[in-house]
Amino acid sequence: MSVFARFAPRLQEQIVARLGWTSLRPVQEQAGQALLDGHNAVVLAPTAGGKTEASMFPAISSLVADEPQGVGAIYIAPIKALLNNQADRLGLYTEMVGLRRFVWHGDTGDAPRKQFLADPADVLMTTPESLEVMLISPRVDTAALFGDLRWVIVDEVHALAGTDRGAHLLSVIERLAAVSRHDVQRVGLSATVGNPTDILAWLTGTSGRPGAVIDPPKQPSRRQIRVISRPGLEEVAREAAGMAAGGKSLFFCQSRATSEAVAEFMRRAGTEVFVHHSAVSREERQLAEERFHHGTDACIVCTSTLELGIDVGDLDRVLQAEAPGTVGSFLQRMGRTGRRPGQVANTTFFCETSEGVLQSIALVELAKAGWVESVEVIDRCWPVLIHQLLALALAGNGVTAEDAWAHLSRVPDFAGISREEYDRLIAWLLENEWMRMAAGRIVLGPQAERRFGRRNFMDLYAVFSSPQSYAVETGGGQPLGTLNQEFVDRLVDGVSTFLLSGRAWLVQMIRHEDRRVIVGPAPRGRQPTWGGFLPQFLGFDLCQKIRQVIAGTDTYPYLDDPAAAVLAEQRAILGPVLRGNRGDLEIIDGEYRWWTFAGGRVNSTLRYALAAIAADWKVSTDNFTVRMRGDALNGDAFDAVMEHLRQEALWQDDELWATVAAGLPGYRLSKFQPLMPPWVEREVISRYLLDVPGAWRWLATTA
């Protein structure tokens, strides 16, 4: 029997009558069979490939056949913009069969929320953080609302798995599963993920349902790729403006600062430009999306905020400043084009640097080979375990340590944390007044009350925190976006100018009391130095591919002449080093450069191992090299250290790596870091900065 024939008759009729469909796509056929058979699933298909219908039609069909009491299905997206974007589509699909959907996120008004709680819709569209709000809120009767929950559908699941937000989501899903009287069916949707079986196992959690990966054969399609090298950002923007003219384009940039500068240069060249990144106000972003969606000659300059499946209409071009950090991001971005019949998916890389050219080539070649990064599923996610302890303590009248452990130990992202470690954490939190014990139940302590109690604990609901920010607005009160505290500290009233929303602004007044910066138009802007907290690491496989590109002799037809010249130059410089007899070693003015191409985390790990062996050497690293200097550094000393480095015992010395972890810089990785005992904080930071097993594996293969 076909999937269509298995749908509820009312849904069959409406698919034909309202949508005018005459057939289902292969992904919808395959997903429909698995989901109607009761499987959990990960559904893979390109952007605009029909994943939403592949998951929602079976869910809607089951809800039509047996209407739920309360919410029957939850559609979860990682960002509010994607929910807003899908609201009309899911509204149509539910309305045409007599069901209702409701969108609940941070911008949803109080009156609609109250109405929803009094009369719940069948399908709830929300974010992980908003689900947390509902589970904690005393206004929400979770048993009544979610007692008949049957489906959880997670869009863009690759953007959540393996992250703190993913661990948070799984914990929330498990809390929902404990409330529902059903084995909640779980579905993840993605366009790009290298290990879907692992993602399925993670998403399944405690569900006893069988699982299925839905990955129909991809239809071969033509793609247009260009890698262009230009000497400066203004020249890049001017050429991009010419390329974007007469069509609709997205120009992805790797930072907010670059996106602001590119937008200003393109606007000077006469292009209608909108700016879209996380520091631009919601009103400005929505205006950009709406005007762009209905326009025919415009460009949105953006960061990764438009990488996910937000529909801004049919795109003609995707432009990219330098190169994204992963193949997955590249494919997601290119997938925004090529949706119309006869149109070709395309990306044009504009590179100012030689690294950008090489990285672009490596991304394209890995994608051509069908390779995409795997998502590393973690099982010791301490920041979220602490967050969930706080959330459980805040809900109701606190929680016993035993009940909290009964829940937390079921979440895959905490599975590697032992009961002994958990008990040690609880004792530390109680001792330091982050929590307290009341009648045998854990509740928030005075420290947590002070830190998270403002605005009715709203800051606790989100797993991530943003740096302190100031709202930027015009003298007339129009919101423009936000600036980081450290940037605001460098501004001077009446003197400083900066770029925001693609325009130059003059600072008129800084109001520290209510964290606002009042601005007016400036004739010319100065690029702001947006602050970052963490080093940006590239992955091992991407860096190894870059090495292969440099060491090889292949030509790439998608390079323009200057880009091809950059490649030839890099091959001339590094080719002899990579083919030399000293193991990719280059010595310049007493500095030893070890060209590992092992990626940021492996090289960082090698740096700390070298510091333990050769304490008097000065060692620095990036994604491609380990650089060493020292008064006693010579060929013999280097060879001796390398021999020591290749001893397996070094990498199994727990005491050594504990000492290394204790000396790591105190990067701010989580707003829950103050609640971490020192031994937990060291582990969290070392997990970000170090890859001890990966470093040893790489060394073992290069011996």
pLDDT value at 211 more than 80: yes
- Cα dihedral sign for 112, 113, 119, 124? positive
pLDDT value at 32 more than 90: yes
- Cα dihedral sign for 475, 476, 480, 484? positive
- Look at the domain 223-368 and name its fold: Rossmann fold (3.40.50)
Q: Name which CATH class applies to 382-461.
A: mainly alpha
Q: What's the pLDDT score for residue 400? A: 96
Whole-number mean pLDDT of the chain? Answer: 87
Q: What's the pLDDT score for residue 492? A: 58
Q: What's the pLDDT score for residue 384? A: 94
Residue type, 49: G
pLDDT grade for 30, boundaries at 50, 70 and 90: very high
Highest mean pLDDT among 401-405, 453-457, 576-580: 401-405
pLDDT value at 525 more than 60: no
Question: Average pLDDT for residues 322-333, to the nearest whole number?
Answer: 91
- Domain layout of the chain by residue ranges: 3-214, 223-368, 382-461, 469-521, 580-702
pLDDT per position as a tens digit, 74-86? 999 988 778 887 8
Does the fold of domain 382-461 match that of domain 223-368?
no
Question: Average pLDDT for residues 110-127, to the nearest whole number?
Answer: 95
Q: What's the pLDDT score for residue 278? A: 58
Strand duo 469-474 + 479-484: pairing: antiparallel
Give the residue with greater pLDDT, 164 vs 493.
164
Q: What's the pLDDT score for residue 193? A: 85
pLDDT per position as a tens digit, 247-280? 888 899 877 778 888 888 888 877 778 876 655 5
pLDDT value at 225 more than 70: yes
pLDDT value at 21 more than 90: yes
Question: Average pLDDT for residues 56-63, to the nearest whole number?
Answer: 97
pLDDT grade for 24, boundaries at 50, 70 and 90: very high
Domain covering 3-214: architecture: 3-Layer(aba) Sandwich (3.40)
List CB contacts of 481: < 8 A, sequence separation 6 or more: 279, 280, 281, 284, 471, 472, 500, 501
How many Cβ atoms from other residues are within 10 Å of residue 666's Cβ? 9
pLDDT grade for 458, boundaries at 50, 70 and 90: low
Q: What's the pLDDT score for residue 454? A: 64
Distance of CA 3 to the CA centre of its chain: 34
Question: Average pLDDT for residues 86-103, to the nearest whole number?
Answer: 95
pLDDT grade for 374, boundaries at 50, 70 and 90: very high
Q: What's the pLDDT score for residue 530? A: 34
pTM of the model: 0.84
pLDDT value at 554 more than 70: yes
pLDDT per position as a tens digit, 407-447? 999 999 999 999 999 999 999 999 999 999 999 999 999 99
pLDDT value at 127 more than 70: yes
Highest mean pLDDT among 124-138, 199-213, 613-627: 199-213
User: With helix as H, strand as E and coil as C, how does 416-468 read?
Assistant: CCCHHHHHHHHHHHHHCCCEEEECCEEEECHHHHHHHCHHHHHHHHCCCCCCC
DSSP per residue, 49-113: SSHHHHHHHHHHHHHHHS--SS--EEEE-SSHHHHHHHHHHHHHHHHTTT--EEEESTTS-HHHH
